[in-house]
Structure 1
Amino acid sequence: MLALTACGGEPATGDSAGSREAEGFAINTSPEQDRVRAQAVPEIAELVPEEIRESGELVVGVSGTGGVPLAFFADDDETIIGSEPDIAQLVADVLDLDLRLEVTSWDNLLLSVESGQYDVGISNITVTEERKEIFDFATYRVDSLSFEARADSDITVRDRTDVAGLSIAVDAGTNQEEILVGWDEENQADGLEPVDFQYYTNPSDYYLALRSGRIDLHFGPTPMVSYHVAAAQESTIVGEVPGGGDLPAEIAATTQKGNGLVEPLSQALNTVIENGRYAEVLARWGIEADTIPESEINPPGLPARED
């Protein structure tokens, strides 16, 4: 991702007004995004539930702490930008609706979708069997996770035993936290040292902790980790796993279960996959490795963790 790998050469970085570069790959960080757009498809737009269609808006919730390049604030510190808002724009275009992005915390995001306050959540949400009891899903990206350490670290994460006894930053309420908790429980059952879980509100906080040596690792979405590795030149990826830890997983647009929106969402995503607009968005943010060939509705999700 972003034309780099964990064991690649030294990335060239640079900062200038309205852009950030990672190994020659520049992204636009200004509020003026000139997003990739799509044409409305009337036969798909007609499938949108009447209440949403009559409002003329698609209200999309997105976490403001998703991180570069998924979802983050532009240079004005007000406008939310990234690959997730861009995907949301494509979907709204096909459904012939104006996009209204609502920036919220991760903790509030799913609650707001469940209550119907937001029509859909497009914010790096992994499909799980537990979540499928409450939500409907239309997939749009592969889910992968990475462990990030200081550049001078000698840590390598090959399997769950390698995290035993380490201090690891992970976002609360996320799939990666659930994976790490499961690994930690198995490790402790085998007599290994427990993980020291560390939680921070903002990415800048756990990156500061990593840089200062207060934590050993950060565990998060690969697109976000990869960009930070390239742009900051102070850390490296020391392990990568599928979104399910040992199981493959997918990221999906998430809507209230049974409200009738998931079918047009999936059709809209498949339209932009087929016409190339989806590929343009992923390439724009350097996350082509996350591409899926087709959006699926409610595919098998990650199983619930046994207590």
Structure 2
Amino acid sequence: MTFFPNLKTIFAAVATVSLIGVGAVHAADEFDLGPEQPGRVHAAKDEAAIAAIPKDFKFVTPGTFTVAVAPSGPPLATYATDAKTVVGADPDYASAIADALGLKLELVPVAWIDWPLGLTSGKYDAVISNVGVTEQRKEKFDFSTYRQGLHGFFVKTDSKITGIKEPKDAAGLRIIVGAGTNQERILLKWSDEDVKAGLKPIELQYYDDDAASLLALQSDRAEVIVQPHAQLVYIAARDKNIKRVGTLSAGWPDRSDVAIATRKGSGLAAALTLATNGLIKDGSYARILDHWHLAEEALPKSETNPPGLPKF
């Protein structure tokens, strides 16, 4: 996670130096961000998945699975210590899918906002970059799910809060959330439910950047921080001063999944779904998630074009 220097107080700046300097060492103990990746999970060929690739499907490069990924931050995808190799859970999953399909892997780093145009124009075969399934996206792309879309509830390690699973658990709490995010939308609904039940509303707090948010949590101005689960898993390992007390589906009250995106009607999605289910069955999938501390995001099975987040 990148920290930005535009903090509002000297104290926040000092805290940022501490978080980066000491925390990076802690994270290195649990997450290998080196370019070699000796712990990468490899998979066997999946003949059923290979047979499901349409005969007329043309890969960008023959014999290669070309995948776009946005190096937005660990543990999902980030630049390694050599500043050029992309590593993380999504690259490892892409590698395993390529293995299953009997193909080489070519990762193409992109800005996350650019993946739809690049995929539509045929620059890559697929996108594996924490793309959530939505009904609007399904109009233009096909999807093969591979992780649950989760947000995390995290608190200070010495917090007396032990669990947040439903709206009543968050009643009256001071919770940091990003403005305009899906988690903000859900927590506003939670707060409304709490008020209707005669409980205190949730107090949402907003900060300019991650460093300011974490400082607010540590200084007890807030009690809980809510962000995409994977981001907070990494921060918890890096800083050793926050812990998870719950998760929240991005599609609350329903499940919302993250998926491989492919061009609409290309026919590749069915093969990718089969390959993912093969990885789930043989245990490769679980090993990848465990390696990056994301076991909570595991799916029981992959699906092609499941219900996605509705249009709001």
TM-score range, shorter chain: 0.7 to 0.9
% of aligned pairs identical?
A: 31
Match of 1:104? Answer: 110
* Contact 2:60/2:66, CA 8 A, preserved across alignment: no
Residues 1:20 and 2:28 are matched in the alignment? yes
Match of 2:267? Answer: 260
Residues 1:79 and 2:82 are matched in the alignment? no
Deviation at 1:60, TM superposition (A): 1.2
Deviation at 1:112, TM superposition (A): 2.5
Structure 2: runs of 5 or more not aligned: 1-21, 196-200
Alignment size in residue pairs: 276
Structure 2 matches for 1:10-159, cutoff 5 A? Answer: 20-21=28-29, 26-34=30-38, 35-42=40-47, 44-46=49-51, 47-48=53-54, 49-52=56-59, 55-65=62-72, 67-148=73-154, 159=167
Match of 1:294? Answer: 301
Structure 1: runs of 5 or more not aligned: 1-12, 200-204
Match of 2:13? Answer: none
Indicate which of 301, 305, 310 corresponds to 1:303: 310
Q: TM-score, normalised by structure 2?
A: 0.73
Q: Which one is further off, 245-254 or 151-160?
A: 151-160
SS at match of 1:31: coil
* Contact 1:61/1:122, CA 8 A, preserved across alignment: yes
Q: 1:159 corresponds to which letter in structure 2?
A: P
Match of 1:222? Answer: 229
Q: TM-score, normalised by structure 1?
A: 0.74
1:152–1:137: structure 2 CA closer, same or farther, 3 Å change rule? same
Match of 2:216? Answer: 213
Greater Rg over alpha carbons, structure: 2
User: What is the CA–CA distance in structure 2 between the aligned matches of 1:269 and 1:163, rounded to whole Å?
Assistant: 41
User: What is the CA–CA distance in structure 1 between the aligned matches of 2:85 and 2:139, rounded to whole Å?
Assistant: 33
Q: Which one is further off, 239-248 or 37-46?
A: 37-46
1:193–1:220: structure 2 CA closer, same or farther, 3 Å change rule? closer
Deviation at 1:91, TM superposition (A): 0.8
Deviation at 1:240, TM superposition (A): 2.7
Deviation at 1:90, TM superposition (A): 0.8
1:149–1:112: structure 2 CA closer, same or farther, 3 Å change rule? farther
